[in-house]
Amino acid sequence: MTDTKLRKIAIVGGSRIPFCRSNSLYADQTNLDMLAAAIQGVTDRFELHGKQIDQVIGGAVTTHSKDFNLAREAVLSTTLSPLTTGITLQQACGTSLTAALMAGAQIASGQIDCAIVAGTDTTSDAPIVFQRKFAQRLIKLGRARSFGQKLGVFKGFSLRELAPQPPKNGEPRTGLSMGQHCERMAKEWSIDRREQDELTLDSHRKAAAAWDAGFFDDLVTPHNGVIRDSIIRPDTTLEKLGSLKPVFDRKNGTLTAGNSTTLTDGAAAVLLASEEWAKANDLPILGWLTHGRTASVDFVNKDEGLLMAPTVAVAEMLTRAGLSLQDFDFYEIHEAFAAQVLCTLRAWESERYCTERLGLDKAMGSIDRAKMNVRGGSVAIGHPFAATGARILGTLGAILEEAGSGRGLISVCTAGGMGVSAIVERD
């Protein structure tokens, strides 16, 4: 009979490259370039050169067809042993946190001893394809044998078919962008413009202070000549933020380019392991990944807020863990939009929402805002979609190590009406 005792999941540490505004400092970089750099950063930091890791799980949201197994190709571009397996995963903005939960479950059950979880994204190298009709013509052309057959492929051809189709920044089911959906949420939860700008300002100040204090020195590996996140604005003010015009609802909106995450290029990776493997390899343990949960909302048929799924994931996770929302020393809540964070917090404070939607007997309550995103959040640091979970996980591990002990909660919203949450603890 096999031993069913679960092992603890150790967070050894992470590494990421600096995050940069899209179409700027990484304009010449591909997802493969950046993912390999982040994994190499972990490899360098923990001296894993030539070592076989049980698996690397990672992915990207905006990919080319040539990136058929991005994680494996990234592994082969590093100094890890080529015997290391690479698995490519995609769950929108939750990709690398979900990768951590999947790898963590395998570590806990004894299937593997270690894993690197990672994510990358770039919109500077977005895949642009032909219209479907022209693409089908090219496929038929490849099958044609005679000159006449080849000529026949182009019967009825129109130059309009050559118009490129860049990736659409919108939900396939609604046609609305994430920002437009978040505007709906902001109106539903009465989130005003000043609240959003205040949260944004706080995020920039915290991120800038963290860089100045040297907090990111071990977490960020220079790449392509870049040594520091390029999006953070330490000199921004409420006045500057308040001068920006709404971008998703120009007439009545409150979401601006300032209080929303900008399109970002970057990558991040984290090394997870069993306690035994970490100790055997003389590696640090920043904390333990103890719980996780994913959830979804129905934003198509019931018009639930697209980015409200983390409220559900966190509530279900805390119920299973036997914890309350206030049982945490740190909260890492992904700032896709400042409004999304504020909607989430307001929902947890709402007795009606918590009882009717979450099935609880009372409101989850408020959190101490001073404990939230203490080293800055996505609205300041940036959001390379699939990389954000790994960035947050590595950051929270470092925060807990710095604190000496504590418990942290992670909440990430994703496209498609999904949310991913996790708990990290340090004894």
Q: What is the mean pLDDT of the chain?
A: 95
Question: Is 338 inside any structural domain?
Answer: yes
> In three state form, how does the secondary structure of 206-265 look?
HHHHHHHCCCCCCCECCECCECCCCCCCCCCCHHHHHCCCECCCCCCCCCECCCECCEEE
Comparing 152 with 226, which gets the higher pLDDT? Answer: 226
Residue 13 burial class via C-beta count within 10 angstroms: exposed 0-12, middle 13-18, buried 19 and up: buried
pLDDT surpasses 70 at 2: no
Percent of the chain with pLDDT over 90: 86
Alpha-carbon distances, residue 245 vs 43, 86, 171, 248, 385 (angstroms): 43, 44, 23, 10, 24
Q: What is the rounded average pLDDT of the residues 26-44?
A: 98
Q: Token pair for residue 121?
A: 């994204």
Give residues with Cβ within 8 angstroms of 214, minimum separation 6.
none
Long-range contacts of 360-368 (CB under 8 A, 24+ apart): 360/315, 360/319, 364/315, 364/318, 364/324, 364/325, 365/324, 365/325, 365/326, 367/325, 367/326, 367/328, 367/331, 368/326
> Letter for the amino acid at 122?
T
Q: What is the rounded average pLDDT of the residues 243-255?
A: 97
Q: What is the rounded average pLDDT of the residues 247-256?
A: 97
Cα 164 to Cα 177: distance, rounded to the nearest angstrom: 20
Cα 233 to Cα 423: distance, rounded to the nearest angstrom: 29
Contact 360, 354 (CB under 8 A): yes
Q: What is the rounded average pLDDT of the residues 185-210?
A: 98
- Specify which residues 36 forms β-bridges with: none
Three-state secondary structure call for residue 122:
coil
Q: Quote the pLDDT of residue 91.
A: 97
Buried b (16+ CB within 10 A) or exposed e, 277-295: bbeeeebebbbbbbbbbbb
Q: Token pair for residue 86?
A: 């690479």
Three-state secondary structure call for residue 398:
helix
Give residues with Cβ within 8 angstroms of 14, minimum separation 6.
42, 219, 268, 269, 270, 271, 390, 391, 393, 394, 395, 397, 398
Question: Is 416 inside any structural domain?
Answer: yes
Q: What is the rounded average pLDDT of the residues 240-268?
A: 98
Could you give the number of structural domains in the chain? Answer: 1
Q: Token pair for residue 7?
A: 């092992």
Given its phi and psi angles, is residue 82 left (phi above 0), alpha (psi -120 to 50 degrees) or beta?
Answer: alpha
Tens of pLDDT, residue by residue over 304-356, are 999 999 999 999 999 999 999 999 999 999 999 999 999 999 999 999 999 99
Q: Quote the pLDDT of residue 110.
A: 97
* CATH assignment of the domain containing 346: 3.40.47.10
Question: Is 312 inside any structural domain?
Answer: yes
For 316, the domain range is 178-214+290-426
pLDDT surpasses 70 at 191: yes
Residue 416 burial class via C-beta count within 10 angstroms: exposed 0-12, middle 13-18, buried 19 and up: middle
Q: Quote the pLDDT of residue 1.
A: 37
Alpha-carbon distances, residue 347 vs 333, 364, 366 (angstroms): 14, 9, 10
Q: Token pair for residue 20?
A: 């940069």
Give residues with Cβ within 8 angstroms of 281, minimum separation 6.
273
Question: Is 282 inside any structural domain?
Answer: no
Cα 290 to Cα 400: distance, rounded to the nearest angstrom: 14
Question: Is 206 inside any structural domain?
Answer: yes
Which ranges of 144-192 does DSSP label H, i.e. alpha helix? 147-153, 178-188
> Nearest CA to 412 among 268, 287, 274, 285?
268
Percentages helix, strand, coil for the chain (3-state, rounded to 5) are: 35, 20, 45
Comparing 169 with 346, which gets the higher pLDDT? Answer: 346
Question: Is 336 inside any structural domain?
Answer: yes
Question: Is 339 inside any structural domain?
Answer: yes
Question: Is 261 inside any structural domain?
Answer: no
> Nearest CA to 227 among 10, 25, 2?
25
Residue 23 burial class via C-beta count within 10 angstroms: exposed 0-12, middle 13-18, buried 19 and up: middle
Percent of the chain with pLDDT over 70: 97
Q: Name the residues annotated as catalytic.
A: 93, 383, 413
- Other residues' Cβ atoms within 10 Å of the Cβ of residue 239: 8
